[in-house]
């Protein structure tokens, strides 16, 4: 995929009359005040000055809240501010995120006028019971209608889904991924639920009504849905909330995370787990008792293959008694690897026999 720069502009909770039980927009975005057109220009200027590669495509992204739910006049001012940079050739396009029930033909016409290219919908789940349980205030039918309109009008469609919502099972999440794939998004974000301070979910958690996913559960569930998206060629552009001062380890002082599977490198953990599965599957196919393998992969994938704190290497030794040698090789395509047997159980026995003979 072509590399691009994103200029993120957080528009917190503006115009959103809902109170999803997991959401505290202020804490998630770290923003507390109304974003103005001047803020938009200052942010864009700041990022443009600091980008190192002038040739890359630049997109301004209005994240957070429900962009098309805020006062139309403010929306237009913010979009207009960003649009000046498109006219000047300094920015390529705009992306926004919003709720599915805040999309209609008129809204899309206006967004088109301001060069919005990508629209990300907060879906969270395809199960209406779960959506109601976390007080989303829309149904999956709204997602279907909005997704259809967005694609029909020529925008790039994005979806955001969560794993670990109250009463959501692994099956619900697999089903959500399958339902979303049918709606043909180009990109998707997957967020494991974290319990954030001053939310209804925090109350549920403290009253023992909600139990967040364990770390292992979050990795497993995210892996399942990520595999489905990968297979359907839907790009997973984010896995896990971005690490900020507020969204950080629950034990750190400024963290607004009360509980849940937070990890600053959550995506890497999930990807490492996927590599582990693939390596194990290949080792099993050898059909001999393998003691040592040589894995060759692109340098960019080496750390993920080794795993966080060498977890994959340790697990292969503990579970399968296999030693792994990992070799970087630029000629191997990213995401691919080659595996060869270095030693089998038979080789070890032979070595022992030779030693005895001496
Ligand atoms: S709709 Fe979005 S901004 Fe509004 S409460 Fe829900 S998650 Fe937060």
Q: Considering the chain, what is the average pLDDT of its residues?
A: 92
pLDDT tens for 275-307 read 999 999 999 999 889 999 999 999 999 999 999
Q: Quick one: average pLDDT of 12-28?
A: 72
Please give the pLDDT value at position 26.
Answer: 58
Please give the pLDDT value at position 76.
Answer: 95
Distances (CA, A) of 96 to 40, 42, 69, 78, 186: 13, 18, 11, 11, 14
**Residue of 250 and 286 predicted with greater confidence:** 286
Please give the pLDDT value at position 83.
Answer: 95
Q: Which helix (H) or strand (E) segment is 255 a member of?
A: none
Cα(313)–Cα(295) distance, integer angstroms: 11
Please give the pLDDT value at position 2.
Answer: 59
13 Cα nearest atom in ligand 1: 3
- Cα–ligand 1 centroid distance for 347 (angstroms): 60
Please give the pLDDT value at position 15.
Answer: 52
Whether 237 and 6 have beta carbons less than 8 Å apart is answered as no
- Cα–ligand 1 centroid distance for 329 (angstroms): 45
CA quadruple 42, 46, 49, 54: dihedral sign: negative
Please give the pLDDT value at position 148.
Answer: 98
* Phi and psi torsions of 288, nearest 5°: -135, 160
Domains and CATH numbers, the chain: 4-264 (3.20.20.70), 278-357 (no CATH)
DSSP state of 150: H
DSSP state of 288: S
pLDDT bin (cut points 50, 70, 90) of residue 25 is low
| Ligand 1 pocket mutation pick from 10, 11, 12, 16 by most atoms within 8 angstroms of CB | 16
Distances (CA, A) of 127 to 31, 219, 318: 30, 21, 39
Q: For the chain, give the percent of residues with pLDDT over 70.
A: 96
Q: Quick one: average pLDDT of 3-21?
A: 81
Q: What is the pTM of this model?
A: 0.90
State both tokens at 230. 């990968």
Cross-strand partners of 7: 60
Please give the pLDDT value at position 1.
Answer: 52
**Residue of 64 and 158 predicted with greater confidence:** 158
| Ligand 1 pocket mutation pick from 122, 131, 189 by most atoms within 8 angstroms of CB | 122
Please give the pLDDT value at position 312.
Answer: 96
Q: Which helix (H) or strand (E) segment is 350 a member of?
A: helix 345-357
Nearest alpha carbon to residue 272 among 329, 315, 242: 315
Whether 305 and 272 have beta carbons less than 8 Å apart is answered as yes
Radius of gyration of the chain (CA): 24
């Amino acid at each position: 995929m072509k590399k691009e720069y994103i200029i993120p502009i957080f528009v917190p909770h503006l115009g959103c009359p809902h109170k999803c039980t997991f959401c505290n927009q202020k804490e998630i975005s770290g923003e507390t005040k109304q974003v103005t057109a001047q803020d938009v220009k200052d942010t864009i200027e700041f990022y443009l000055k600091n980008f190192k590669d002038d040739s890359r495509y630049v997109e301004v992204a209005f994240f957070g809240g429900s962009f098309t739910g805020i006062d139309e006049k403010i929306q237009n001012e913010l979009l207009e501010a960003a649009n000046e940079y498109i006219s000047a050739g300094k920015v390529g396009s705009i992306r926004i995120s919003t709720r599915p029930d805040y999309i209609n033909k008129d809204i899309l016409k206006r967004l088109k006028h301001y060069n919005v290219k990508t629209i990300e919908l907060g879906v969270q789940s395809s199960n209406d019971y779960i959506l109601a349980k976390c007080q989303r205030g829309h149904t999956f039918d709204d997602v279907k209608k909005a997704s259809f309109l967005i694609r029909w009008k020529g925008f790039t469609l994005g979806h955001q889904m969560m794993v670990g919502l109250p009463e959501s099972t692994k099956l619900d999440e697999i089903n959500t991924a399958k339902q979303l794939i049918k709606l043909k998004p180009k990109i998707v974000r997957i967020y494991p639920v974290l319990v954030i301070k001053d939310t209804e979910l925090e109350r549920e958690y403290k009253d023992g009504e909600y139990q967040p996913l364990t770390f292992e559960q979050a990795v497993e569930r995210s892996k399942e849905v990520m595999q489905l998206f990968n297979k359907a060629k839907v790009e997973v552009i984010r896995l896990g909330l971005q690490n900020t001062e507020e969204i950080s380890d629950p034990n750190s002082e400024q963290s607004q995370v009360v509980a849940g599977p937070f990890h600053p490198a959550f995506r890497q953990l999930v990807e490492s787990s996927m590599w582990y599965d693939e390596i194990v599957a290949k080792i099993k196919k050898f059909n001999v008792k393998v003691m040592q393998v040589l894995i060759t992969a692109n340098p960019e994938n080496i750390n993920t293959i080794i795993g966080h704190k060498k977890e994959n290497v340790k697990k292969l030794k503990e579970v399968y008694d296999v030693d792994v040698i990992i070799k970087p090789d630029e000629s191997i395509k990213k995401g691919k690897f080659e595996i060869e047997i270095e030693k089998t159980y038979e080789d070890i026995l032979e070595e022992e026999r030779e030693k005895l003979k001496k």
